[in-house]
Amino acid sequence: MTADPSVTPSTLTLDNVRGWITSFHTLVTEQKAYLTELDSAIGDADHGTNLSRGMDAVATTLDGAAPAGIGELLKGVGMTLVSTVGGASGPLYGTFFLRFAASAGDAGTLDGEAVGTALTAGLAGVVARGKASVGDKTMVDALTPAVTAWGDAIDNGATLTDAATAARDAARLGSDSTMPLVARKGRASYLGERSAGHLDPGSVSTTLLFTALAQALP
């Protein structure tokens, strides 16, 4: 779902957030095989399958739902992912959305600074849950620069659309940076030096998350 290009929003609305989740679902579905292929090299070969199943469940949960605010919508997303997705991706993505939801609260719209605060809360949740840092070859390598890029863009007066684009591009660069890294967390860490030379699948799906956010804004 792509927002109307004739309108440049000053706030992230409930409809934008619904579009974000819908676009993420679409992208994960399209890239399911690729994400699983990446995970087959250094993980359990289930990242694409698990995340796709979780987003299918999210889509079913959201179908016909009428949440009162952004927090309620994303709390539903987070709880669905935690309860339906196996492996690491369910708890990590679920935690991201639950922390974002708690930051957003009952608000029906969020300005750029509030979105940045919510993204930062989501990142902190992922870091606390996964005990990972930048350089460990995890989704944090894409998530951290994306959140930072959003904040920097908003601080410099960027529109939400430009901030989302900056976050997407930073996530992609962060994901690319995982290729030469030796994994220090998760299933990939068991491979030691053999984990180098492969993209981290979680960082790739994180890039899809921010690609979806950019698609949800004109």
Q: Cα separation of 108 and 46, whole Å?
A: 35
- Residue 195, pLDDT score: 67
**Segments forming the whole domain that contains residue 25:** 11-215
Structural domain includes residue 6: no
Structural domain includes residue 2: no
Let me know: does 110 contact 11? Beta carbons within 8 Å: yes
- Residue 7, pLDDT score: 52
- Residue 165, pLDDT score: 98
Distance of CA 17 to the CA centre of its chain: 12
Indicate the DSSP class of residue 52. Answer: H
Structural domain includes residue 1: no
Structural domain includes residue 51: yes
CA nearest to 107, candidates 141, 67, 147: 67
Q: Cα separation of 35 and 156, whole Å?
A: 34
Structural domain includes residue 4: no
Count of domains forming the chain: 1
- Residue 204, pLDDT score: 98
Structural domain includes residue 163: yes
Angle of helix 70-84 versus helix 14-30 axis, rounded to 10: 30
Task: Render each residue's pLDDT in the chain as its tens digit; 218 residues.
Answer: 344 444 567 899 999 999 999 999 999 999 999 999 998 987 788 899 999 999 999 999 998 888 999 999 999 999 999 999 877 889 999 999 999 999 999 999 999 999 999 999 999 999 999 999 999 999 999 999 999 999 999 999 999 999 999 999 999 999 999 998 878 767 666 566 766 878 999 999 999 999 999 999 98
Answer positive or negative: Cα dihedral of 140, 142, 143, 149: positive
Let me know: does 93 contact 111? Beta carbons within 8 Å: no
Q: Say which CATH number the domain at 23 has.
A: 1.25.40.340
For the chain, the straight-line distance linking the first and the last C-alpha, in angstroms and rounded, comes to: 11
Provide the total of helices (H) and of strands (E) in the chain, helices listed first: 9, 2
Q: Where are the alpha helices (DSSP H) in 131-200?
A: 140-155, 160-176
- Residue 193, pLDDT score: 74
Burial environment of residue 111 by CB neighbours within 10 A (0 to 12, 13 to 18, 19 or more): middle
Residue 77 one-letter amino acid: V
Structural domain includes residue 93: yes
